[in-house]
């Protein structure tokens, strides 16, 4: 029998998934829809979810900033966060009365795991009075230690909102370098601290202090990847996520958050695109722009192992068994809420960059 869900998925992702597989995924998606209603749940899906999930059950899809906003607004009893743990924690920080579930027991992230609350306390001691910004890709205990959060969609706006001479920006070294470049700030990292101690670098030589974590997916891209594709497809437009090293962003036509990429591709006159970000994004954008005759080159080989843990079947099991529940100790939640709320107050207009270069 051809169900509405089957037909919907066939229309969206029939170009990348064979019909028998779509049939199986559609049946699971229908179960998810039934359970979602029974549990009065809302499903949030990050742009990196696989195509079958992304195009079927989420009530809202988007980047970290958009999903944080949705998590704050919903009146459902249960939030199922199809993403990684730090995202689900942010939802719990904003909606403590709701049950927040993540469809995988792990949902890690190399950025979130690259810094501890003790590291943040040590930085605050070393640079007293300097405001601390953390990328949202951190756990709640880090958010509890800082002044304000940011996402890749509003990092520049958040830094500018502080109006401070110096800023500590954690934990992603590449996002920090890219934002420093964007805002005209000079940045130092922990590797430079010995020079600070010896007097080789002084107070007057830097405006930003970064950390040394990185995204295990975005750090792998090479400028030669872009050069090779440009040679083969001279008309290609290249988009990079700001978690990529600065040389990758410099070699691209646009740098922005995952949702900013979607908007850019939709509005661009180009017909062919290469995305320097997590692979699932390519399929998800392709489904949205194929009617415009636009092609996303499927040359990506960097899948986030943590995002890839979340499937439609896991989402069904999460609702069926009400697991894995994400909790945040109240004392940490209350402190973390301040830095998340402060970010949300900056307003939706904030964006990392709209540096349209072509």
- Which residue stretch of 4-12, 109-117, 317-325, 343-351 sits at the interface with ligand SF4 (rule: CB under 6 A)? 109-117
Please report which helix (H) or strand (E) contains residue 299, including its range. Answer: none
- Among 104, 110, 134, 137, interactor with ligand 13P by CB under 6 A: 137
**Partner from ligand SF4, ligand 13P, none contacting 151, C-beta within 5 to 8 A by type:** ligand 13P
* Residue linked to tokens 């502080």: 162
- Name residue, tokens 């869900």: 5
Least Å distance, CB 24 to ligand SF4, is 26
Member of 25, 134, 173, 258 binding ligand 13P (CB under 6 A): 258
- What tokens appear for 36 in the block? 């979602």
Q: Is 111 in the site for ligand SF4 (CB under 6 A)?
A: yes
Q: Between residue 42 and residue 101, which ones bind ligand SF4 under the rule CB under 6 A?
A: 84
Q: Which of 47, 28, 49, 31 is nearest to 39 (CA)?
A: 31
Task: Compute the least distance from the CB of residue 258 to ligand 13P, in Å.
Answer: 4
Q: Taking CB within 5 to 8 Å according to partner kind, which of ligand SF4, ligand 13P, none is near residue 240?
A: none
Our CB check for ligand SF4 shows the closer of 9 and 91 to be: 91
Pinpoint the alpha helices (H) of the chain: 4-13, 19-39, 51-54, 64-73, 85-94, 117-126, 140-143, 155-162, 173-183, 193-198, 223-232, 246-250, 258-267, 280-289, 312-321, 330-344
Minimum Å gap between C-beta 292 and ligand SF4 is 27
Which of 45, 58, 131, 153 forms a contact with ligand 13P (CB under 6 A)? Answer: 153
Q: Identify which range of 58-66, 191-199, 265-273, 285-293 contacts ligand 13P by CB under 6 A.
A: 58-66
Q: Does 134 bind ligand 13P (CB under 6 A)?
A: no
**For residue 276, which of 306, 252, 247 has the smallest C-alpha distance?**
252
Binding of residue 306 to ligand SF4 (CB under 6 A): yes
Q: Which does 257 bind (CB under 5 to 8 A by kind): ligand SF4, ligand 13P, none?
A: ligand 13P
The interface partner of residue 173, options being ligand SF4, ligand 13P, none and the CB cut-off 5 to 8 Å by kind, is: none
Q: Report the partner that residue 47 touches, choosing among ligand 13P, ligand SF4, none (CB closer than 5 to 8 A by kind).
A: ligand 13P
Q: Which of the listed partners (ligand SF4, ligand 13P, none) does 110 bind, with a CB threshold of 5 to 8 Å by partner kind? A: ligand SF4
**CB-facing half-sphere around the CA of 9: CA atoms within 13 A:** 27
Residue 25: which residues within 8 A CB-CB, separation 6 or more? 9, 17, 52, 56, 312
Q: Residue-wise over 197-232: b if at least 16 C-beta within 10 A, else e?
A: eeeebeeeebbbbbbebbbbbbbebeeebbeebeee
ω before 324 within 30° of 0 (cis)?
yes
State both tokens at 240.
């990079």
| Contacts with 208 (C-beta within 8 Å, 6 or more apart), sequence order | 166, 167, 168, 169, 176, 179, 180, 185, 186, 187, 188
End-to-end Cα separation, the chain, in angstroms: 47
Q: Which is nearer to ligand 13P, 63 or 317 (CB)?
A: 63
CB of 261 to ligand 13P, least distance (A): 8
Among 63, 147, 253, 314, indicate the residue that binds ligand 13P (CB under 6 A).
Answer: 63
Residue 119 contacts ligand 13P per CB under 6 A: no
Supply φ then ψ for residue 70, to 5 degrees.
Answer: -65, -40
Catalog residues that contact ligand 13P under the rule CB under 6 A. Answer: 47, 63-65, 137, 151-153, 215, 241, 243, 257-258
Catalog residues that contact ligand SF4 under the rule CB under 6 A. Answer: 84, 109-111, 137, 215-217, 243, 278, 304, 306-307
């Amino acid at each position: 029998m051809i169900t509405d869900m089957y037909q919907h998925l066939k229309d969206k992702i029939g170009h990348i998934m064979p019909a028998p597989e779509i049939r199986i995924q559609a049946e699971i998606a229908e179960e998810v829809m039934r359970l979602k209603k029974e549990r009065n749940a809302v499903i949030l899906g990050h742009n990196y979810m696989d195509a079958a999930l992304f195009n079927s059950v989420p009530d809202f899809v988007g980047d970290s900033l958009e999903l944080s906003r949705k998590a704050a607004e919903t009146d459902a009893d249960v939030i199922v966060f199809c993403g990684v743990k730090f995202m689900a924690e942010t939802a719990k920080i904003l909606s403590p009365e709701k049950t927040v579930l993540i469809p995988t027991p792990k949902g890690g992230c190399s950025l979130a795991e690259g810094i501890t609350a003790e590291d943040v306390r040590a930085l605050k001691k070393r640079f007293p009075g300097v405001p601390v910004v953390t990328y949202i890709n951190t756990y709640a205990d880090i958010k509890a230690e800082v002044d304000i959060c940011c996402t890749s969609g509003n990092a520049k706006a958040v830094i500018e909102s502080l109006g401070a001479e110096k800023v500590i920006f954690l934990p992603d070294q590449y996002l920090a370098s890219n934002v420093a470049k964007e805002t005209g700030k000079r940045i130092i990292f922990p590797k430079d601290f010995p020079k600070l101690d010896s007097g080789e670098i002084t107070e007057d030589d830097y405006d930003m202090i970064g950390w040394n974590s990185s995204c295990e997916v975005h750090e792998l891209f090479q400028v030669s990847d872009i050069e090779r594709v440009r040679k083969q497809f001279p008309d290609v437009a290249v988009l990079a996520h700001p978690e990529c090293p600065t040389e990758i962003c410099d070699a691209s036509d646009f740098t922005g958050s995952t949702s900013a990429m979607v908007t850019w591709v939709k509005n661009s006159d180009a017909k062919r695109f290469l995305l320097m970000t997590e692979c699932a994004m390519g399929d998800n954008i392709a489904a949205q722009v194929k009617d415009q005759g636009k092609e996303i080159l499927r040359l990506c080989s960097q899948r986030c192992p943590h995002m890839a843990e979340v499937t439609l079947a896991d989402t069904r099991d999460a609702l069926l068994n009400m697991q894995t529940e994400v909790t945040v100790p109240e004392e940490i939640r209350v402190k973390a809420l301040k830095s998340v709320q402060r970010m949300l107050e900056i307003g939706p207009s904030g964006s990392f960059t709209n540096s349209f270069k072509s």
